[in-house]
A and B are shown apart, each in its own frame.
Chain A
């Protein structure tokens, strides 16, 4: 029986449990519902929860343990010489077996040992699924019966149900913590493995990046260099270009929208501008690679400059356009938060609107604006698709915006896309880069949020 059918059966049991609990509760008081401690529905929910949650937990544990146990059982049945294979070869064999079971390789192509093992695997799997179904449904029914027995007139079903629901909500809200933990632990662990083969210092301050390692030890060729400085400078260069586009345009738009624009203009221009932030980055990447980059190259060549077809300038410009709404809407909020009394004071002294903005509002809003720019910078550093499609792969250590550069995110993507073995320094390097990216963006965000919050408190 497949797990999805089991799930549907459990839902039906939950439904049955609800009515059983309700009926029993009403039966306890011979229909005089007002003598019950809780509303009848709560007794229904109480039984319903009991009949589903333990059964679901068992199913979950079963599904986690099952593959491990099955692999062991199948391995034990393999011929002697296969069991004694080195672990990675054994894994390949096991993968073959699983592929045959899933039907993703044609059974006729595999040899008889694999086929035997596959049929063994299949019979074990169906046995295990049947056992799981019987255990789960048995448990569900037993829990339903026991919880039904516990219902009496004074049973506090509402309190029990509310406790369970609150517990569920607490579990949901800890998911955020587990996500952060998951990110930190997985990235840090793989980086730790990476730093065992490449020293931290070489990684952070090395000037040469060519992550192609030799496949075999006797092979001639590159042994791999993991100096990340070219990636950091590339990221900085592209982010700088993006900020040069986004900050003036975004800031001026924010000032105009919050101080000069009439309500109708504001109501149309602001959401239209924010469309720019909603367009998927892959679209910007396509636009950068196919429209902006050739345009820049032609313009550059017309002026006698040599521009690479994947220039940092094209990627940076397009990324800047993407970031405009971030800067403008965050700064807009900050400028709006400046108290009206400051404006009125400036007007009373005879300042024009522009003078008020330049000399009163802007300085007052400056910390918040800096915070919003920092948030935009962290966005630019973490941006991936535009750069993957438009910035190129060559790790040049340069600050010339007309040359191709590569960035941290681009390298993470190129190192990890495709099938690689997971223990080579090449793939692990991506996690080390990911760690750097995570730490830098986290620090920027914490700092920016701190500034923004501190500034807000000033005027509240």
Chain B
């Protein structure tokens, strides 16, 4: 194009040559090109930036929940106080353990005598701390009659203050921790009796109204049960459907109808599955509300399309020569599939179902419909016990007014994201490790 002879010839014609027009507009066109490219890059960068902001915001809010402010108290396990009638285990289980904490606090702060001050003093230790003492006594009765230093969780307001979420300089009337409590806290921290420790309760306790006593164990168990049930139901059904549609089904109206149904179900909003669960499984079949069994039925119907579509794709990728070879050796159609095609397609199917399971693990809306949103303290151990799941727990905590629940919600989100990322990582690994290009 840059041939001078040609341009000279054209110029000789004394017309505005195409070459000149192109040459003139070239700079503009090149900058338009650069601008367009920059828009594209901006799009991607914006997307990645949102991701970064989301993660930093969640982690920034939540990492403090993995430690918990605890107060060291010398607890005298008074046998007379706990079990005055010597009733044994039964009365030990019902005894007033908070009384022990109050006594210990009174001994530590003898100068506090007024009723209101005493109440403020007692409020510094979690109201659930008594249960921890009971646990200690029930597991180890030799504690009775001894004085033992025990680290007990502080109340959530004290915890928030220690983590810097409550401003010390603020006016006392607007502050959830009053000046006297501040002074006691300072004294305790001088004596190294108030410290932040790893928050083991967060992983071992069920839900609670008290943020410092609340944990995700119940929700995790609920999620685990629901997910196991979902996998056990949806994987065999999904694989069977994929095999039938891909390998056996004749091409007719009925098969078409099934395919249309599967494709549409894949795009139905998840909340509609919740409505189905409520109307069908709970009201019509009378299955127990709020239980993992009904959760996994709903989630199975929801994840089936994903598994079927992934399964069909991986069956399609197995070359026909494999089938022809097996059939040529005299294998029946079913033998061909179970002995040769399915093992080759299995990694792809597993990848698809793991991704489906990851979606099911993060699903909230349909589970709200079927009542898995109840406040449940006990850790569920079977499919028919009322339970909740991790995303619903996040939703419930996000609704709680206490400031301390914000960091716990973020921490629960971090746990949920950890599981999701590991599951997706496993799926990617399986794909990389076992995927075969034919």
Question: Are the chains A and B members of one assembly?
Answer: yes
Across the interface, which residues of A come within 8 angstroms of B249, CB to CB?
173
Tell me whether B417 and A279 are in contact (CB under 8 A): yes
Can you pick out 22 interface pairs between chain A and chain B where the beta carbons lie within 8 Å of each other?
A172-B237, A176-B241, A176-B304, A179-B265, A187-B272, A252-B44, A255-B40, A256-B40, A256-B44, A276-B47, A280-B364, A281-B365, A286-B409, A286-B410, A381-B269, A384-B364, A409-B269, A412-B271, A413-B368, A416-B278, A417-B371, A438-B272
A442 to B267, CA, bound (A): 8
A325 to B359, CA, bound (A): 15
Across the interface, which residues of B come within 8 angstroms of A279, CB to CB?
54, 362, 417, 420
Q: Which of B43, B301, B332, B364 contacts A385, CB < 8 Å?
A: B364
B297-350 at interface with A (beta carbon < 8 Å): 301, 304-305, 308, 332-334
Q: Which of A170, A182, A381, A413 contacts B276, CB < 8 Å?
A: A182
A176 and B265 in contact, given A273-B44, A273-B48, A286-B413 (Cβ under 8 angstroms):
yes
For B244, give the chain A residue with the smallest CB separation: A169
Given contacts A162-B333, A253-B43, A413-B365, 5 further A-B contacts (CB under 8 A): A249-B43, A285-B395, A354-B36, A384-B364, A389-B395
Across the interface, which residues of B come within 8 angstroms of A186, CB to CB?
275-276, 279-280, 284
A290 on the B face (CB < 8 A): yes
Q: Which of A289, A353, A412 contacts B398, CB < 8 Å?
A: A289
Binds A, one of B9-17, B158-166, B209-217, B255-263: B255-263
Q: Which of A168, A249, A382, A384 contacts B240, CB < 8 Å?
A: A168
The distance from the CB of A234 to the nearest CB of chain B, in whole angstroms, is: 16
Tell me whether A169 and B240 are in contact (CB under 8 A): yes
**What 0/1 readout, one digit per residue, does chain A (272-283) give for beta carbons within 8 Å of chain B?**
110110111111
A384 and B365 in contact, given A172-B244, A324-B47 (Cβ under 8 angstroms):
yes
Tell me whether B275 and A434 are in contact (CB under 8 A): yes
Across the interface, which residues of A come within 8 angstroms of B32, CB to CB?
352, 354-355
Across the interface, which residues of A come within 8 angstroms of B280, CB to CB?
182, 186
A257 to B240, CA, bound (A): 37
The distance from the CB of B163 to the nearest CB of chain A, in whole angstroms, is: 17
Across the interface, which residues of A come within 8 angstroms of B63, CB to CB?
none
A412 to B369, CA, bound (A): 9
Question: B30, B264, B270, B424 — which one has the most chain A CB atoms within 10 A of its CB?
Answer: B264
Tell me whether B269 and A383 are in contact (CB under 8 A): yes
Name B's interface SS. helix
Interface size class of A (residues with CB under 8 A): 35 or more
B227 on the A face (CB < 8 A): no
4 A-B pairs with least C-beta separation: A382-B269, A256-B40, A280-B362, A252-B43
A441 and B269 in contact, given A186-B276, A281-B364, A291-B57 (Cβ under 8 angstroms):
yes
Q: Which of B29, B48, B332 contacts A162, CB < 8 Å?
A: B332
Tell me whether A431 and B394 are in contact (CB under 8 A): no
The distance from the CB of A154 to the nearest CB of chain B, in whole angstroms, is: 17
A250 to B42, CA, bound (A): 11
Tell me whether B269 and A437 are in contact (CB under 8 A): yes
Across the interface, which residues of A come within 8 angstroms of B267, CB to CB?
375, 378-379, 441, 445
For B243, give the chain A residue with the smallest CB separation: A169
Across the interface, which residues of A come within 8 angstroms of B248, CB to CB?
166, 169
Question: B41, B47, B395 — which one has the most chain A CB atoms within 10 A of its CB?
Answer: B47
Across the interface, which residues of B come within 8 angstroms of A422, CB to CB?
283
Tell me whether B43 and A441 are in contact (CB under 8 A): no
For A183, give the chain B residue with the smallest CB separation: B276
Tell me whether B398 and A257 are in contact (CB under 8 A): no
Tell me whether B57 and A280 are in contact (CB under 8 A): no
Tell me whether A248 and B257 are in contact (CB under 8 A): no
For A324, give the chain B residue with the smallest CB separation: B47
Tell me whether B373 and A417 are in contact (CB under 8 A): yes
Tell me whether A158 and B416 are in contact (CB under 8 A): no
Q: Which of B29, B258, B264, B364 contacts A446, CB < 8 Å?
A: B264
Across the interface, which residues of A come within 8 angstroms of B334, CB to CB?
162, 165-166
For B18, give the chain A residue with the smallest CB separation: A350
Q: Which of A67, A175, A249, A259 contacts B47, CB < 8 Å?
A: A249
B180 on the A face (CB < 8 A): no
A430 and B275 in contact, given A280-B364, A285-B395 (Cβ under 8 angstroms):
yes
The distance from the CB of B291 to the nearest CB of chain A, in whole angstroms, is: 12
**What 0/1 readout, one digit per residue, does chain B (408-423) give for beta carbons within 8 Å of chain A?**
0110010011001000
**What 0/1 readout, one digit per residue, does chain B (352-364) give for beta carbons within 8 Å of chain A?**
0000001101111
Tell me whether A287 and B261 are in contact (CB under 8 A): no
The distance from the CB of B21 to the nearest CB of chain A, in whole angstroms, is: 12
The distance from the CB of B220 to the nearest CB of chain A, in whole angstroms, is: 15
**What 0/1 readout, one digit per residue, does chain A (174-217) give for beta carbons within 8 Å of chain B?**
11110110110011011000000000000000000000000000
Across the interface, which residues of A come within 8 angstroms of B37, CB to CB?
256, 260, 353-354
The distance from the CB of A167 to the nearest CB of chain B, in whole angstroms, is: 10
A383 to B365, CA, bound (A): 9
The distance from the CB of A168 to the nearest CB of chain B, in whole angstroms, is: 6
The distance from the CB of B248 to the nearest CB of chain A, in whole angstroms, is: 6
Across the interface, which residues of A come within 8 angstroms of B369, CB to CB?
412-413, 416-417
Tell me whether B22 and A350 are in contact (CB under 8 A): yes
Across the interface, which residues of A come within 8 angstroms of B40, CB to CB?
252-253, 255-257, 259-260
A253 and B275 in contact, given A67-B286, A173-B245, A289-B398 (Cβ under 8 angstroms):
no
Q: Which of B33, B308, B416 contacts A352, CB < 8 Å?
A: B33
Across the interface, which residues of A come within 8 angstroms of B264, CB to CB?
180, 442, 445-446
